[in-house]
């Protein structure tokens, strides 16, 4: 606590460089990181739902998410091929 009070009263905060806009909360990088975090939480929730609520074994949940990943990759590949042509 004392170190923080000294940091403020001695105005040591003036010597610290501000966060660049690249790492600001509203930057593209931080928004992307937030989206990935939300996706991981959705996957975690989905895994819990499949295993705890529906009673699917853990390997079955992994298989569902693996197949969903493959299917999504195929769809995105198809879309990029059609749009690129």
**Digit-coded pLDDT (tens) for 1-34:** 899 888 888 888 788 877 777 777 788 888 999 9
Report the C-alpha gap between 4 and 19 in whole angstroms. Answer: 19
User: Position of tokens 């739902």?
Assistant: 49
Range with lowest mean pLDDT among 21-30, 37-46, 70-79 = 21-30
pLDDT band at 72; cut points 50, 70, 90: very high
């Amino acid at each position: 606590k004392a170190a923080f009070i000294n940091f403020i009263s001695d105005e040591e905060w003036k010597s610290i460089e501000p966060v660049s806009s690249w790492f600001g909360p509203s930057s593209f990088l931080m928004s992307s990181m937030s989206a990935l975090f939300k996706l991981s939480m959705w996957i975690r929730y989905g895994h819990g739902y499949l295993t705890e609520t529906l009673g699917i074994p853990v390997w079955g949940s992994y298989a569902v998410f693996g197949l969903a990943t493959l299917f999504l990759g195929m769809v995105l590949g198809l879309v990029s091929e059609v749009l690129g042509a």
